[in-house]
Structure 1
Amino acid sequence: MQIAEIIRVLEDWAPLAYQESYDNSKLLFGQKESELDQVLVSLDITEAIVDEALQKGAQMIVSHHPLIFGGLKSLTGKNDAERALIKAIQNNIAIYALHTNLDNVSSGVNAEIGRRLGIANPKILAPRTGILKKLVVFVPNSSVQSLSEALWAAGAGNIGNYDQCSFRSEGKGTFRASAKANPSIGEIGSLHQEEEFRLEVLVEEAKLSGVLKAMQLNHPYEEVAYEIYAIENAHQEIGSGMYGDLAEAISSEQFLKQIKQTFGGVVRYTQAHKDEIKRIAWCGGSGSFLLSRAKAIGADLFLSSDFKYHQFFEADNQILIADIGHYENEQYTIGLIAEYLRKKFPNFAVLLTENSTNPINYL
C-alpha cells in the first residue's frame, strides 16, 4: 500500500480545507508514492513515539497534533520536536497530522467526546459558513437522471441526514454550433432548441473539483453550461464544538464525578449555578472561545480545556465550566483514527501507540 492511499481516506473523512487558518494539518514528511505495511497512530509526535515506530516497524506515523506547527528556522535537535523530526527523516518514517480538520467534522474528535459523555445525536455548536457552493447545470431531459447520479456519487447533494438532494426545473435551451464544434445534438450553423432541466445541487467547496470533473465526464454536451454560486448558509455538519442533551437530568456533582471517571486527570470547574444539568456543550482541545456560544444555546455545562484564570469568571453564574485538560479531552482521538483506518483497510496493520504523550503530571 502507498502512503497516498492512507492520505486519501483520511482527507475524505476530514478534508484539509476544514482546518483552521493557523493549523498545519497535512503530510509533513514523506513521499506519497512510498510503500508501507504498518502505520502508528498517536496524539502527539515525540522522540519516544518515533522510537516506538522504529521498534514496531511502522513506516508512517499519523498524529492528531502536528509535529511542525510554527515556522522552522533551523533543525539542530535543540528540543524534542526537532530531534523527533530529525530521527523520522533519517529513518524515512512519514509523518501526517489531521488536527483541527478532524475537530471540525461531525464524526471527528467532538463526536467521540460526546459518545464518552453518553450523549446521543449531538449537533455542531458553531457551524461554519462560507464552505457551501451551489452548482447549477443545464442538461437535456434524457440525461438529467444519469448526470444527477454522477454528481451525487462525487459528493454533491448532501444536506444533513439526507443525500441525493437536488432541485430541477424544466425549460428550453438554445444554442448554435460553430464550424469548429462537434455537437452531440443539433446541426452546425443552425439554431437548435432543446428541452432541458436546470439542475441545482449543493456542494461542499472541498468536493467541488471532483464534482465538476464528474459533471464534465457525464454530461452529453461538448460545452457544458453551468454556474457556481457562493452560499452563505452555515453547514450544520462542519464546525467547532458540539452540544446535546443527556437522556435524563443529573446533578452537577454527579456529572462532574462522571467526567473525572471517564477522562481522568484533574477537573477544574466553576460553581454550579443549578442543582441539575441536562444540556451539555463541549469542545476538544482549547475551546474557551466557544463559551459564549455554549451560553447562547442554553447549555448547563461547557466542557473543554486550557481555560485561563480570568476566563472562569465568564461563567457568571450562567453556566458550569468544566476544564478537564487538553490531553484528557483528546486522548480517545487515537482510537478514533485507528478504528477509522482499520475499517477502511481491514487487512492492514494499524498500531496504537503505547506511550502517553501527556506532558503534565498530577499529584
Structure 2
Amino acid sequence: MQIQEIINELEHFAPSALKEDFDNVGLLLGDASKNATGVLITLDVTEDVVDEAIERGCNLIVSHHPIMLSGLKKINGRNATERIVIKAIQNNIAIYASHTNADSVMNGVSGKMCEKLGLENCKILAPKKESLLKLVTFVPTEQAEQVREAIFKAGAGHIGNYDACSYNLNGEGTFRAGDNTNPFVGEKGEIHTEAEVRIETVLPDYLKGRVVGALINAHPYEEVAYDLYPLVNDWVSTGLGMVGELPHAIDEATFLNRLKNIFKAGGVRYTNLLNKPIKRVAVCGGSGSFLLGKAIAEKADVFVTGDFKYHQFADAENRILIADIGHFESEQYTKEVFFEILTKKFSNFAIHLSNVNTNPVNYL
C-alpha cells in the first residue's frame, strides 16, 4: 500500500482545502508514492517522535500540528525543526499534518471533545461563511439522472446530513448548431427545441473544478451550459468549535471537576462561578478565545478551550463560565480521531498511537 492511499483517507475526512489561511497542512515531507511500512500518529512531531517512528518501523508520521508554519530558509540542524527534517529525510520518513482542517469538520478535534464530554445535539459553533456555490445546469430529460449521479459523486449536493440534494425543473431549451459542430440532438443550421431539466445543487467552492469536470464529462452536449453562483449561506456542517448539551444539567463545580478528570488537566483556569447549572456547553480544541462571542451568542453556559490570556477572561462579563483546560489537553484526543479513521479503513495494517508525551507544559 502506498503512502498516498493513507493520505487519501485522511483527506476524505478533513480536506486540506478546509484549512485556515495561515496554516500549513498536507504532506509536508516525503514521497507519497513510496510503500507504507507503518503509521505513527501524534499530536506534535518532536525528535523523540521521529525516533519512535524509526524504532517501530513506521515511514509515515501523521500529526495534528505541522512541523513548520512558514518556509525553512536553512536546514543545518541548529534548531529542533531542522533536526526533525534532517532525521526524517535520512530515515525516509514522510510527515503529514491535518491541523485546522481537522478542526473544521464535525467529527474532528472539537467533535471528539464533545464525545468525551457526552454532549448531545451538537453543531458547529462558527460555521464557515461564503464557502458554498450553487450550480445550475440544463440537461436533456433522458440524461438528467446520469448527470445528477456524476455531480453528486464528485461532491455536490450535500446539505447537513443529507446528500444527493437537488432541485429540478422541467422546461425547454433552444439552440442552433453551427457549421463546425456535432450536435447531440437537432440539425446544423436549424433552431432546435429540446425538453430539458434545470438542475440546481450546492457544492463547496474548493470542489468547483472536480464537480464542473464531472458535469462536462457526463453531459451529452458538446457545449455545456451551466452557471455558478456564490452563496452567502453558512456552511453549517463545516467550521470551528462546537456546541452541544449535557444529558442532564449539573452544577458548575461538578462540571469543572469532571472536565479536569476527562482531559487529565494539570489544572483548570476558570472565571467566577455564576451559580447556575451547566447544561449547554461550547468547546474548541486548541486556542479558542476568538470564539467567546459565538459561545455567548449560542447561550452556552460554559466555554471549554485553551490558551485564554489574562485580560480575555474579563470578556466573559458574568455572561458565561470560561474553562481553560490547556492547549494540549483540549486536543490530545485528536490522535484517537486519526487512529479510528485509519484502522477502520486499513484494519490489517500497522497503525500506532505515539507513546511520546509531546506536551511542553508541566504543572506542579
Q: Same fold (TM over 0.5)?
A: yes
Preserved CA contact (<8 Å) 1:15 1:206: no
Answer yes or no: is 1:350 the counterpart of 2:336. no
Provide the residue aligned with 1:281 in structure 2: 282
Matched residue SS, 2:120? coil
Matched residue SS, 1:217? helix
Alignment partners' CA distance in 1, 2:208 and 2:348: 31
1:176-218 per-position Cα deviation (integer Å, ceiling 9, x unaligned): 1122211121112221110111100001122222222221221
Provide the residue aligned with 1:335 in structure 2: 336
Answer yes or no: is 1:139 the counterpart of 2:152. no
Q: Partner letter of residue 96 of structure 1?
A: Y
1:102-158 per-position Cα deviation (integer Å, ceiling 9, x unaligned): 001111111100000110231111111111011111001111122112221221111
Matches within 5 A, 1:81-230: 81-230=81-230
Q: Partner letter of residue 62 of structure 1?
A: V
Matched residue SS, 1:339? helix
1:273-328 per-position Cα deviation (integer Å, ceiling 9, x unaligned): 13311110010000000011111111110000001111111111111100001110
With 205-214 and 164-173 compared, the bigger mean Cα shift is at 205-214
Give RMSD over aligned pairs. Answer: 1.1
Alignment partners' CA distance in 2, 1:168 and 1:264: 52
Provide the residue aligned with 2:272 in structure 1: 271
Figure out how many residues of one structure are paired with residues of the other and give that number: 363
Alignment partners' CA distance in 2, 1:7 and 1:223: 36
Alignment partners' CA distance in 2, 1:359 and 1:184: 65
Alignment partners' CA distance in 2, 1:87 and 1:249: 50
Identity, % of aligned positions: 51
1:12-60 per-position Cα deviation (integer Å, ceiling 9, x unaligned): 2111121111110111111221111311110000000000010111011
Stretches of structure 1 lacking an aligned partner (at least 5 in a row): none
Matched residue SS, 1:283? strand
With 110-119 and 154-163 compared, the bigger mean Cα shift is at 154-163
Alignment partners' CA distance in 2, 1:79 and 1:251: 47
Alignment partners' CA distance in 1, 2:292 and 2:58: 40
Matched residue SS, 1:121? strand
1:316-355 per-position Cα deviation (integer Å, ceiling 9, x unaligned): 1111100001110110001110110111222222111011
Provide the residue aligned with 1:309 in structure 2: 310
1:236-272 per-position Cα deviation (integer Å, ceiling 9, x unaligned): 0111100011111100000000001100121111111
Q: Partner letter of residue 363 of structure 2?
A: Y
Matched residue SS, 1:148? helix
Stretches of structure 2 lacking an aligned partner (at least 5 in a row): none
Alignment partners' CA distance in 2, 1:271 and 1:303: 14
Displacement of 1:220 in angstroms is 1.2
Matched residue SS, 1:347? coil
Preserved CA contact (<8 Å) 1:133 1:229: yes
Answer yes or no: is 1:262 the counterpart of 2:229. no
Answer yes or no: is 1:29 the counterpart of 2:22. no
Matched residue SS, 2:275? coil
Matches within 5 A, 1:47-62: 47-62=47-62
Q: Partner letter of residue 30 of structure 2?
A: G
Preserved CA contact (<8 Å) 1:116 1:262: yes
Q: Partner letter of residue 121 of structure 1?
A: N
Alignment partners' CA distance in 1, 2:287 and 2:279: 23
Provide the residue aligned with 1:253 in structure 2: 253
Alignment partners' CA distance in 1, 2:342 and 2:185: 46
Q: Could you tell me the TM-score, scaled by structure 1's length?
A: 0.98
